[in-house]
């Protein structure tokens, strides 16, 4: 979900920014995505792997890298600048 709070980090998700860096589809009351079943490929870890990373690494390696990026985002406090973190093209949901 931390990726959903920083959609401005990626060109593929920046258009979903509601104006404060948070995805306009994030339902903060239940911590879920209002368009989960129809979410774009940029929000689908499994699709990102298939489209961009399958030839370069195993699924297990991809998940480890993705989880490390998610931990970096989670370690940041609300409102902290995230430009110091290299943006990942994936969200924190690593289930295919």
The per-residue pLDDT for range 19-57, each reduced to its tens digit, is 999 999 999 898 899 999 999 999 999 999 999 999 999
Confidence of residue 80 (pLDDT cuts 50, 70, 90): low
Contact indicator for 63, 57 with CB cutoff of 8 Å: no
Q: What tokens were used for 80?
A: 């902290």
pLDDT score for 90: 41
Please name the helix (run of DSSP H) or strand (run of DSSP E) that holds residue 77, with its range, or none. Answer: none
Measured CA to CA, the distance from residue 82 to residue 78 in angstroms comes to 10
Secondary structure E strands in 7-46 = 26-27, 32-33
More confident residue, 92 or 39: 39
- The pLDDT assigned to 89 comes to 39
pLDDT of 18 strictly over 90: yes
Q: What is the dihedral of CA 77, 33, 89, 50, to 10 degrees?
A: 150
pTM of the model: 0.71
């Amino acid at each position: 979900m931390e990726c959903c709070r920083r959609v401005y980090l990626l060109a593929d998700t920046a258009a979903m920014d509601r104006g404060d860096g948070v995805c306009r589809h994030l339902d903060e009351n239940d911590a879920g995505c209002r368009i989960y079943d129809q979410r774009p490929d940029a929000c689908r870890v499994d699709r990102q792997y298939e489209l961009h990373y399958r030839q370069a690494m195993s699924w297990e390696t991809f998940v480890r890298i993705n989880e490390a990026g998610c931990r970096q985002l989670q370690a940041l406090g609300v409102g902290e600048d995230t430009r110091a973190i290299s943006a990942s093209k994936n969200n924190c949901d690593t289930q295919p």
